[in-house]
Amino acid sequence: MANDSEWQARTAPILASERAGVRYLHFGSRLIQGAMRIARPSALELEYTRDMMFPLLLRSGGGWPRSVLLIGLGAASLTRFLYRHRPRAAQTVVEIEPAVIAVAQQYFKLPAQSARLRIEIADGSDFVASSKQRFDLILVDGYDAKGRTGMLDTLPFYCNCVARLSERGALAANLMTRHHGIGGSLDRLRAAFTGRALPLPKCASGNVVIVAAGGDAVDIPGIELARRARRLYGETGLCLLPTVTRLRAALGADAALRI
């Protein structure tokens, strides 16, 4: 991949490009669908992917999470991060497009399937509707080439996600705001989670990650949230302190995070 400016690989409509040491995933256009810094493949290059790991601050102790459902593989950023930094977590990845899996394997260092990682070629909405398994963490990041989510942003889907969460379960969903904003999505998530959903501050890209909790209530003082973010940074190199700072400013510096 010598030329930074040209498209580097193509599998069906899936494209991979490389620039300044970062490899990017595209679904048939120059719109970035995922990224990996080649020198640090387990790091989370895009801001919204870092925010998707915010639930790691919500549940402490006990090796949480032990089971993760990822809907939408993309450039496998979240999968690689969890594979390295949460080795006890069993991951199930649901991806509807086989070509995305092929490109992730060839260009984005997707780990091989094992007891720790299972890949399902399926529709994410159908999967949560039919599965009987429960997960500590559900991550929703499924879009097509035109930025459409299909059934992945509907009340029935979110209700099925609630049913698939464990007693200490949490969900994070990536939402794009450039077309319709997040108002409808937030309403649907709050309806499914009985009000227990919170949008994080908008990323520079325009993405908003909404976190929601099932089971045990979350009630974390702002100071404790910052302490957990510092500890997570020391353990993994993932810095969520900017997100925590912006969230505390939005909630009120002395307010607790309650969902």
Tokens 């997040």 — which residue?
182
In the chain, where the domains are located: 43-217, 222-258
pTM over 0.75: yes
141 counts as catalytic: yes
- Digit-by-digit pLDDT tens for the chain (259 residues) are 334 434 445 555 788 999 999 999 998 777 788 999 999 999 999 999 999 999 999 998 768 999 999 999 999 999 999 999 999 999 999 999 999 999 999 999 999 999 999 999 999 999 999 999 999 999 999 876 566 778 999 999 999 999 999 999 999 999 986 666 899 999 999 999 999 999 999 999 899 999 999 998 999 999 999 999 999 999 999 999 999 999 999 998 789 999 9
What is the pLDDT, as a whole number, of residue 32? 86
Give the Cα separation of 92 and 34 in Å (integer). Answer: 19
Nearest to 9 by CA among 22, 26, 21, 32: 26
Residues in contact with 77: Cβ distance below 8 Å, sequence separation at least 6, in sequence order: 34, 35, 36, 44, 45, 46, 49, 108
Q: Is-contact 92 71, C-beta < 8 A?
A: no
Q: What residues are paired with 140 via a beta bridge?
A: 71, 173
Measure the CA–CA gap between 129 and 126, rounded to whole angstroms.
5
Of the listed 136, 141, 153, 254, which one is catalytic?
Answer: 141
Query: Which CATH number is 43-217 given?
Result: 3.40.50.150
Query: Contact, 11 vs 102, CB < 8 A?
Result: yes
Give me 78's structure tokens: 């979240």
- 152 closest CA partner among 131, 169, 182, 128: 128
| Nearest C-alpha neighbor of 220 from the set 9, 103, 16, 60 | 60
d(Cα 64, Cα 72) in Å, to the nearest integer? 21
What pLDDT, on the 0 to 100 scale, is given for residue 166? 96
In terms of DSSP H, where are the helices of the chain?
47-52, 77-85, 98-107, 124-130, 155-164, 183-192, 222-236, 241-251
The pLDDT value given to residue 109 = 97
| Encoded tokens for 187 | 């309403």
Q: Which amino acid is at 258?
A: R
Task: Name beta bridge partners: 14.
Answer: 11, 27
Tell me which H or E stretch contains 91. strand 90-95
